[in-house]
Amino acid sequence: MKKSLTKFINKNFNEEKSLKIIKYYEKEMNKMMIKEKLSLTNTQYKTAVKSILPVIAIYKALQLYESAEESMKYTEEYFYDEAKPFKLFIEGITFTNIGTACLKKIFNIFIKADTWDSNVYQYDKEHFNFDITRCLYHDLCKKYDCSELTPSFCEGDYFVFGNMRTLQFTRNQTLGQGGEKCDFHFAKK
């Protein structure tokens, strides 16, 4: 279990409830990891274990002790806390045009991973636009009966990419919010 998760749980709940939440989280996390190790590729599994399954597991654990609304609130708070270092990295690298060019190249490689099906349809000095038509975040939330959690991951893109100095991020739809695809539009400011 991540130290940051233990710290987050202990900060928000009394000792007795914290221990129960952590115990259930660990049980759910282990169960999902075993199940997904058998069904996902190595790349998908690493992404799932690092970024998706912990959020699903904490959400499910919180639902045992909190209302649906409170469970979602705490889960989103934890998710955004975990995303802060990546957000700061993105903001830092896009401080210059050279950093932005590097980010675009890295992103172009990253989106070709098998964690999603993507189509880059514009990649030039002014724009970087692509669509995702299958997303591991969406698929796993659906698989574990917590599709209501998927839009939080989608909104996380705005959290991470919404304050870049040299690029403007916009989108019209996501799979997690009922769209046919997740569209990513990055335009030079």
* pLDDT tens digits along 28-49: 999 999 999 999 999 999 999 9
Alpha-carbon distance values, 1 to 6, 102, 173 (Å) = 7, 33, 33
User: At 170, which amino acid appears?
Assistant: T
Q: Which pLDDT belongs to residue 34? A: 97
Query: What is the rounded average pLDDT of the residues 126-140?
Result: 95
Local confidence band at 95 (pLDDT 50, 70, 90 cut-offs): confident
Q: What is the pLDDT of residue 108?
A: 82
Checking DSSP bridges between strand 127-135 and strand 182-188, what pairing results, if any?
A: antiparallel
Averaged confidence pLDDT in the chain: 94
Q: Which band of pLDDT confidence, cut at 50, 70 and 90, is reported for residue 149? A: very high
Is 90 exceeded by the pLDDT of residue 20?
Answer: yes
Number of independent structural domains in the chain: 1
% of residues, the chain, pLDDT over 90: 86
Write out the residue range of the structural domain in which residue 66 sits. 3-188
Q: For tokens 């100095």, what's the residue?
A: 165
Query: What confidence tens digit (pLDDT) does each residue in 48-78 have?
Result: 999 999 999 999 999 999 999 999 999 999 9
CA distances to 30, 133, 187 from 178, in Å? 30, 12, 24
Pairing of strands 127-135, 116-123: antiparallel
pTM for the model stands at 0.93
Closest among 26, 31, 34 to 2, alpha carbons compared? 26
